[in-house]
Amino acid sequence: MKLLGEKLRVVNVGVRLFYECVKAQGAEAIHVEWRPPAGGDEKLARLLEKLDRPEIDEANKKAVEKILAATPTLIDIKTAKDVIPGMTEHTILHSGPPIEYERMSGPTKGAIWGALIYEGLAKDQREADKLVASGKIKFAPCHDHDSVGPMAGIISPSMPVFVVENKEHGNRAYSNLNEGLGKVLRYGAYEASVIKRLKWMEKTLAPVLKDALKRSGPIDLKAIMAQALHMGDELHCRNVASSLIFLKLMAPHIAATGFGKKALGEVMKFMGENFLFFLNPAMAACKATQDAGHGIEHSTVVTTLSRNGTDFGIKVSGLGKQWFTAPAEIPKTLFFPGFTEADANPDIGDSAIMETAGFGGFASAAAPAVVQVVGGSPSVAADYTREMGEICLVKDGSLSIPFMNFEGIPRCIDMRKVIDTGILPFINTGVAHRKPGFGTVGFGVLRAPMLCFTKALKAMADKY
Amino acid sequence: MKLLGEKLRVVNVGVRLFYECVKAQGAEAIHVEWRPPAGGDEKLARLLEKLDRPEIDEANKKAVEKILAATPTLIDIKTAKDVIPGMTEHTILHSGPPIEYERMSGPTKGAIWGALIYEGLAKDQREADKLVASGKIKFAPCHDHDSVGPMAGIISPSMPVFVVENKEHGNRAYSNLNEGLGKVLRYGAYEASVIKRLKWMEKTLAPVLKDALKRSGPIDLKAIMAQALHMGDELHCRNVASSLIFLKLMAPHIAATGFGKKALGEVMKFMGENFLFFLNPAMAACKATQDAGHGIEHSTVVTTLSRNGTDFGIKVSGLGKQWFTAPAEIPKTLFFPGFTEADANPDIGDSAIMETAGFGGFASAAAPAVVQVVGGSPSVAADYTREMGEICLVKDGSLSIPFMNFEGIPRCIDMRKVIDTGILPFINTGVAHRKPGFGTVGFGVLRAPMLCFTKALKAMADKY
C-alpha cells in the first residue's frame, strides 16, 4: 500500500505505448527496449537454451582468438587456374552459396557469359549459353575454393588473382582484381569494352603489379585496413583511403619495374581512379581471416555471410561445409540517375565477407559518408556499429574507430546472439541491374535474412 | 517575498564557486560560462564598443565573400628567384613577422646557415655567419613576399617553389617543397644530409613534378582539402589523406614524364612516405585565399597568424602591411623520445596560415588523432572546433567535417570577437629544437597570444 501513496515512477518494458501514456500524465517513466528471446518463438527459444553450454563458449573463445590473431598478407598475384585449389580449365567460380545455372540471377549469368567470351571458350552470349547447356562448365562457389569475388564474383581460369596468406596460421585466400564501376563483369555486363578491360588487366595491370610486389615484398593488409578506418573508409563500399595507401606502397615499386611509360601511366591512373581497388585484396584478407576461425567443433561463430543474387547463405564455424540459405532480398538503394527499384537485383556478392569480419556496415561509424548516401547521419552510423556490437563476441582494439573514442570494430558474430536479440547483420553493398548486360545501378544497405540463422540453429541443435 | 518561499533554482554567472556551493546544498543550479568583454579591461572594452559599427560589418562581409570565393590552384613549380616578387640572389625569406638576425631563434639561424651552404654562398656555419655579419644578405618575412614556409620557413633564391594562383581573384602565392621529418632545414638542421636532400629536391623532385604538372594541368587545391577533411586530416599536422590524394593525381603523369626509373621510383617513394608533403601546397593555397581578403578598409578580419620562433605576429585586413606582435610561447608538446620541454623552441612557422584559414586547430574535429597526441579525445576535438566558431564570422559549407554533422569549418577570424570573448586561436604545430642543427622534437598545441590582438585593436581604433 505504501507504493500507491508514493510518487509514481515507472520502468516500462516492451510495448512503448504504456510508457507514453504514463509520461503524458506527468509521471516519471523510462522505457526499456526489450523483445522476448528469439522473437517470442518458443521452439527456437528452447533450442537457444540448449546451446547455452560451456563447451560452446570455449569453442567460440578459440575461434575469436584465431580470427583476431590472423595476419592476412598479400604475397603474390597469380593466374587463377595455377593457384586456386580445385580450379580446372572449365571451372567458373561464382559468389554466394551453390546454385544451379537455371536459378542464377541476371548479373551472374551475364558475368558467366562474359567470362566464357574472355576465356575464348565462346564467341558471344549464344555460344556461351550453348556451352553451359552442354554441361562442360563446372560451377562452384568461390567460398568453397578458398576464394571470394565481389558482386557476381565470377573467377575464370585465366584471371589474375591476389594471393593472400594468413601468415599466423598458414592458410591462403584468393580474389580477382577490381575493374572499377559502371559496365563491369562483376555487375553482369559482358560487352566488348568489358572483355577488353579484363584482357588489359591480365596482360598489363597484373604483370606490373606482380613485378612491383616482388620488389616491395609482402604487404600487411590488416595494417592498411587499420589505417583506412581512421580515414573514413568502412572498407566495403568506401575504399577511398585504403586504395590510396595501397597505391602509395606500390607506386615506387611500380615505377621501378621498368615497364614502358605508357603501361606505368595506365596502371597508376587505373588504380588511382578506382576508389574500390582495395576492396578485392581486403575481401581476400577477410576470407583468410575468417577461414582461420572456421571448422572449430561446437563454435557458433558465423564465418561466412554471402549472396549469389538469388540466395543468401551463411556458414558457421562448428557446422563444417554446410551452407544455410534463404532468399536474397533487395537492398534499400540510392540509385544512380536513370535507375529505379524495378531495376535492382536481389543482394549479391561475396563482399559481405567484409561485414562478417567486422567492416562494412559493422564499421559504419568509421564512414558516415556511406550512411549519408542512404539518408542517415553520423549518429545513425554510430548506432549501427553499436548495434552490431550486440551480436558480436569481441571488439578488436587493433582495428579502431576514432569517433567511437577509438573503440575497436565489432567482430565474430555469434549466431546465438543474432537469434536471441533479433538483431540481424547490417550490410553495405553495391547494387546490380537485375538483367544481364547492364552493370551498376547504385549503392544500398540491408539486413541478412533471419531464416539463415534459424536453419543453422536447428542444425547446431541436431548436431550437438 | 514569494521568491524566498519557493524552491530555490539558481542560474550562476561568472565565478564557479557560488554554483558549486549552491549545488552542494542540494538546490537546483546551472552555471553559465561568462567573462566580461575584453577580460574586464575597461579601456579595451571601450575601444571594442567603438568598433561596433556598420561600416566594419560591411567591410567584413566583403572580406568573407572574397575568402570563401577564392579558388587556389597549383599551376607550376618554379625557382624562387625567378618568380617571388622582390627576391634577389641575396634574399633569404623566413617565417613570421620581421626580425633582426641577432634576435632570431636557433632553428631559424640553423636553417639560414643551411640555406647559405645550399646556395654555395658559404662552405660552413662559420662562413655563413661571417657572410651574414657582412650585411650582404637581406632578410625578410615570406608573408611580405606573397610566400609562406613551415617552421623556420627559409626560402632561398635557388629553391623550387609551388606556384599557386587564386583563379577567382588572380593573386598568387608561393611555398617551398616539404622535406619530411627529422633532420630537415625547416627545423634548423643544416648538416650534409640536409643539403644533399635539398639538392635532390632541386635537381630531381622539382623537375619531375614540374613536368608532371604540365601534363596533368592545374590542380584544384581546395577540392583536395575538402576531400581530406573527410579522411581524418586537419591539414596542418596531419596531411596523410591530402598527400595521398595529391600523389594519386600526379602519379600517372609522373610515370608518363619519361624520366628514368630510378628518379621516378625515388620521387614516388619520397612523396608517398612523407605524410606532410601536401602541407606546403596547402599553405600556399591558404595564403592565396587569405590575401584575397586582405587590404579591405575597415575590415577587422585577421588575415595572417604567423611566428618566427621569437615573436608571434598577426595582420588584419583593414590595417595594411602592419604586423602586431607579441613574444612567441612554447607549445604544449608530445615530445619524440629523447627530448623534453627544455629542448623546445618557442612557436615557429608560417604554417598557422592553416588555422587562419579554418584548418589545423580550427578543424580539430576532423582529425581526432591529432588531439589524441596531446592527451585529448574526439569530443575535446569537437569542442575546439565549436569554440573556434565563436571567434569566426562564417562556416564554410564547402569544407565540411563529417563528424560535426557535415557542418563547415569556421573561417574568417574577427579580431573583435577574439578580444570580446577572450577566446584565442587554437593552433596545432610542429615543435623545433631550440638549438640550431637538431631538427624536429615533437608535435604540440597552443593559443595565439592576446597581446597581438589588443595591439591591433588599438591601431584599429586609432586609424578609424
* pLDDT for B54 beyond 70: yes
CB contact under 8 Å between A232 and B378, yes or no, is no
Cβ-Cβ contacts under 8 Å, A252 against chain B: 265-266, 268-269, 272
Q: Among candidates A120, A12, A63, which has minimal Cα distance to A304?
A: A63
Q: What is the pLDDT of residues B79-116, one digit of tens each?
A: 999 999 999 999 999 999 999 999 999 999 999 999 99
Whose CA is closest to B142, among B86, B91, B77, B95? B95
- Of the ranges B146-155, B244-253, B296-305, B437-446, which one carries the lowest mean pLDDT score? B437-446
Q: Give yes or no for A256 touching B (CB within 8 A).
A: yes
Instruction: Please check the confidence at residue A6 and state whether its pLDDT lies above 80.
Output: no
In this complex, which of B230, B256, B403 lies closest to A265 when CB atoms are compared? B256
C-alpha B12/C-alpha B32 separation (Å) is 6
Q: Are residues A58 and A139 in the same domain?
A: no
Q: What pLDDT shows up at residue A28?
A: 84
Interchain contact B215–A (C-beta under 8 A)? no
Other C-beta atoms within 10 Å of B390: how many? 13
Tell me which chain A residues have a C-beta less than 8 angstroms from the C-beta of B366.
none
Arithmetic mean of pLDDT, B419-440: 95
- Residues A84 and A164 grouped into a single domain: yes
Residue B264 sits at the chain A interface (C-beta within 8 Å): yes
Q: What is the pLDDT of residue B1?
A: 60
B421 touches chain A (CB under 8 A): no
Judge whether A181 is closer than 8 Å to chain B, CB to CB: no
Q: Is A266 on the interface with B (CB under 8 A)?
A: yes
Q: Phi and psi dihedrals of B92, rounded to 5? A: -120, 120
- List the single residue in A245, A267, A268 with the smallest CB-CB distance to B244: A245
Strands lying side by side in the sheet with A172-176: A147-148, A172-176, A160-166, A72-79, A219-220
pLDDT of residue B235: 98
Task: Tell me if A165 sits within 8 A of A288, measured CB to CB.
Answer: yes
> Residue A231 is nearest to which of B232, B255, B372, comparing CB atoms?
B232
Measured in degrees and rounded to the nearest 5, phi and psi for residue B60 equal -65, -40
Of B65, B91, B68, B70, nearest to B80 by C-alpha is B91
Tell me the nearest-neighbour CA distance from A261 into chain B, angstroms. 5
Residue A395, pLDDT score: 98
Q: Which three cell numbers stand for residue B365?
A: 574535429
Considering only alpha carbons, which residue of chain A is nearest residue B245?
A244
Q: What's the pLDDT at B24? A: 85
**A-B C-beta contacts closer than 8 Å:** 104
Say what the pLDDT of residue B6 is.
Answer: 76
Q: Clarify whether residues B8 and B59 are in a common domain.
A: no
Task: Report how far residue B201's alpha carbon sits from residue B193's, in angstroms, rounded to the nearest whole number.
Answer: 12
Residue pair B436/B190 in contact (Cβ under 8 Å)? The answer is yes
pLDDT confidence of A164, banded at 50, 70, 90? Answer: very high
The predicted-structure confidence for B342-369, as pLDDT tens digits, reads as follows 999 999 999 999 999 999 999 999 998 8
CB of B257 within 8 Å of a chain A CB? The answer is: yes
The number of distinct structural domains making up chain A is: 3
Band of residue A126 on the pLDDT scale cut at 50, 70, 90? very high
Q: Read off the pLDDT of residues A275-318 as tens digits, 9 standing for 90 and up.
A: 999 999 999 999 999 999 999 999 999 999 999 999 999 999 99
HSE-CB of B416 using CA atoms within 13 angstroms: 21
Which residues of chain A make contact with B255, given a CB cutoff of 8 A? Answer: 254-255, 261, 264-265, 267-268
- Cα separation, A173 vs A162, in Å, equals 8
In a domain, B400, yes or no: yes
Chain A: give the shortest CA distance to residue B263, in Å: 9
Chain A, window 267-286: residues with a beta carbon less than 8 angstroms from a chain B beta carbon: 267-269, 272
The answer to the question of residue A288 being in a domain is no
pLDDT of residue A1: 60
* Set of chain A residues whose Cβ sits within 8 Å of the Cβ of B372: 402, 406
Query: In angstroms, what CA-CA distances link A391 with A68, A383, A418, B313?
Result: 17, 13, 6, 55
CA proximity to A313, closest of A282, A356, A344: A356
Closest-CA residue of chain A to B265: A252
3-state secondary structure of A413: strand
**Is B230 close to A232, i.e. CB distance below 8 A?**
yes
Which residue of B209, B238, B244 is the best one to mutate when testing the A interface, meaning the one whose CB has the most A CBs within 10 A? B244
For residues B246 and B239, the answer to whether their CB atoms sit within 8 Å is no
Q: What is the model's pLDDT at position A226?
A: 98
Confidence of residue B310 (pLDDT cuts 50, 70, 90): very high
**Average pLDDT over every residue of B5-15:** 81
Range of the domain at B28: 2-34
Which residue among A244, A368, A377 places its CB closest to the CB of B244?
A244
Q: Are A278 and A299 found together in one domain?
A: no
Residue whose grid cell is 581486403? A282
Q: What is the mean pLDDT of residues B175-192?
A: 95
Q: Looking at the domain assignment, is residue B440 inside a domain?
A: yes
Q: Does A378 touch chain B (CB under 8 A)?
A: yes
Which of A255, A283, A311 is the C-terminal boundary of a domain? A283
Q: What is d(CA A252, CA B251) in angstroms, rounded to the nearest whole number? A: 10
Q: Looking at the domain assignment, is residue B92 inside a domain?
A: no
Same domain, A226 and A300: no
Q: Does B45 touch chain A (CB under 8 A)?
A: no
Give the per-residue pLDDT at B368: 84
pLDDT for B272-300, tens place per residue?
999 999 999 999 999 999 999 999 999 99
Please indicate, yes or no, whether residues B27 and B56 belong to a single structural domain of this protein: no
Positions of E strands within A106-150: 138-141, 147-148
Q: Give the chain A residue whose CA is nearest to the CA of B234.
A: A231
Cα(B432)–Cα(B444) distance, integer angstroms: 10
Beta carbons within 10 angstroms of residue A245's beta carbon: 24
Helix, strand, coil percentages in chain B from 3-state DSSP, rounded to 5 = 45, 20, 30
Q: Is the pLDDT of residue A373 over 80?
A: no
A340 and A263, same structural domain?
no
Q: Which helix (H) or strand (E) holds A194?
A: helix A192-200
Q: Which residue of A has its CA nearest to B404?
A: A378
Locate the DSSP E strands across A293-366. Answer: 302-308, 311-316, 324-327, 332-335, 348-349
Kindly report the CA angle at B213 between B208 and B216, in degrees rounded to 5?
125
Neighbours of B421 (CB within 10 A): 16
Dump pLDDT digits (tens) for B115-127.
Answer: 999 999 999 999 9
CATH number of the CATH domain containing B299: 3.90.1700.10
Q: Do B251 and A232 touch (CB under 8 A)?
A: no
Mutation target to probe the A interface, by most A beta carbons within 10 A, among B233, B403, B405 is B403
Q: From the centroid of its chain, how far is CA A80?
A: 21
- Does B249 sit within 8 Å of A268, measured CB to CB? no
Cβ pair B402:A254 closer than 8 A: no
Amino acid, single-letter form, for residue A290: Q
Task: Tell me what pLDDT residue B354 has.
Answer: 98
Residues of chain A with Cβ-Cβ distance to B241 below 8 Å are: 231-232, 241, 244
Report yes or no: B92 and B139 within 8 Å, Cβ to Cβ.
yes
3-state secondary structure (DSSP) of residue A43: helix
* Backbone torsions φ then ψ of A28, nearest 5 degrees: -75, 135
| B245–A241 C-beta distance less than 8 A | no
Per-residue pLDDT, B10 = 86
The residue of B246, B261, B364 whose CB has the most chain A CBs within 10 angstroms, and thus the best one to mutate to test that interface, is B261
- Same domain, residue pair A189 and A245: yes
CA distance B361 to B383: 11
CA quadruple B39, B45, B49, B55: dihedral sign: negative
Residues of B in contact with A266 (CB under 8 A): 252
Tens-place pLDDT, residues A15-56: 888 888 888 888 888 887 777 888 889 999 999 999 999 999
- SS3 (DSSP) at B306: strand
- B360 neighbors B233 (Cβ within 8 angstroms): no
Q: Strands A392-401 and B72-79: what pairing?
A: unpaired
Whether B60 has a pLDDT exceeding 70, the answer reads: yes
CA distance A378 to chain B (A): 6
In this structure, what are the phi and psi dihedrals at residue B320, rounded to the nearest 5 degrees? 60, -135
Q: Give the pLDDT confidence of B367-399 residue by residue, as tens digits.
A: 988 887 777 888 899 999 999 999 999 999 999
Q: What type of residue sits at position A342?
A: A
Residue B278 lies in a domain: no
Grouping H, G, I as helix, E, B as strand and the rest as coil, residue A75 is strand
CA gap A366, A402 in Å, rounded: 7
Which element (helix H / strand E) includes B166? strand B160-166
Mind listing the pLDDT tens digit for each residue in A228-260? 999 999 999 999 999 999 999 999 999 999 899
Q: In whole angstroms, what is the distance from residue B208 CA to residue B77 CA?
A: 10
User: Does A253 lie at the interface with B, CB-CB under 8 angstroms?
Assistant: yes
Please, what is the end-to-end C-alpha distance for chain A in angstroms?
A: 51
The CA distance from B221 to B106, in Å, is 33
What is the three-state SS of B73-87?
EEEEEEEHHHHCCCC
Specify if A454 maps to a domain: yes
Is residue B49 in some structural domain?
A: yes
Residue of A nearest to B271 (CA): A248
Kindly report, residue by residue over A380-426, the tens digit of the pLDDT.
999 999 999 999 999 999 999 998 999 999 999 999 999 999 999 99
Mean pLDDT in chain B?
A: 95
Q: Within 10 Å of residue A298's Cβ, how many Cβ atoms?
A: 20
For residue A7, give the C-alpha cell.
Answer: 510518487
Question: Do residue A400 and residue A368 come from a single domain?
Answer: yes
Does A263 share its domain with A308? no
Using the Cβ of B245 and the Cβ atoms of chain A, whether some distance falls under 8 Å is answered with yes
Q: Please tell me the number of Cα atoms within 13 Å of B10 on its side-chain side.
A: 20
Q: What is the mean pLDDT of residues A194-220?
A: 98
Shortest distance, CA B249 to any CA of chain A (angstroms)? 7
* Neighbour-count burial of A337, counting CB atoms closer than 10 A to its CB (0-12 exposed, 13-18 middle, 19+ buried): exposed
Shared domain for B361 and B315, answered yes or no, is yes
Asked, for residue A41, whether it belongs to a domain, the answer is: no
Cβ separation B405–A254 shorter than 8 A: no
Q: What average pLDDT is seen over chain A?
A: 95
Helical (H) or strand (E) element with B442: strand B440-447
- Residue A169: predicted pLDDT: 98
A75 and A173 part of one domain = yes
> Is B407 in CB contact (< 8 Å) with chain A?
no
pLDDT at residue number B67: 98
pLDDT at A26: 81
